[in-house]
Amino acid sequence: MKLREKHIQISMVIITLVMTILRFLLNEKGRTNPDSIRYMRFAHLFPEIDNTTTPLGYPLFIKFFTFFGADEFWSSKIVGVFSFLFIIFFAWRKNFFLKEVIVLCSLFSFLSIFAFTMSEALILPFVFLFIYCSTEIINGK
């Protein structure tokens, strides 16, 4: 890989990460909605389960990051940032469509998903792992 191309890729990852953080810092509501508040409330009250309308995994990840000192709001943002970083790191480590993944994750709609407090940010790394496993099976590895 050319050195210039590598610098552009690293720059895109850093700019995307900064833009994700700025999206929720500069938004007056922190990129939340009533569903987001439900997720954070569920994480705050866990292990007591007061509703069954939310998926269990996302509030548990939020709860996990609250053990490191962050509240539920910031924990939900950490989940989004780590989801983005996991996708980039996995694509780089496995050499699996790295350039395409960087461009795709830098698109505005994906940037909004990672900045928003919704379970889609946590689902995307699992979708990416599913695509990787499917490709490996199809290629016979």
* 36-58 pLDDT per residue, tens: 778 888 888 787 777 666 678 88
Run of H or E residues at 56: none
Whole-structure pTM value: 0.84
Closest by CA to 115, choosing from 41, 30, 37, is: 30
Residues 78 and 70 sit within 8 Å (Cβ to Cβ):
yes
Burial of 93 by CB count in 10 Å (0-12 exposed, 13-18 middle, 19+ buried)? Answer: exposed
What is the three-class DSSP state of 50?
A: coil
What is the percent of the chain where pLDDT is above 90? 25
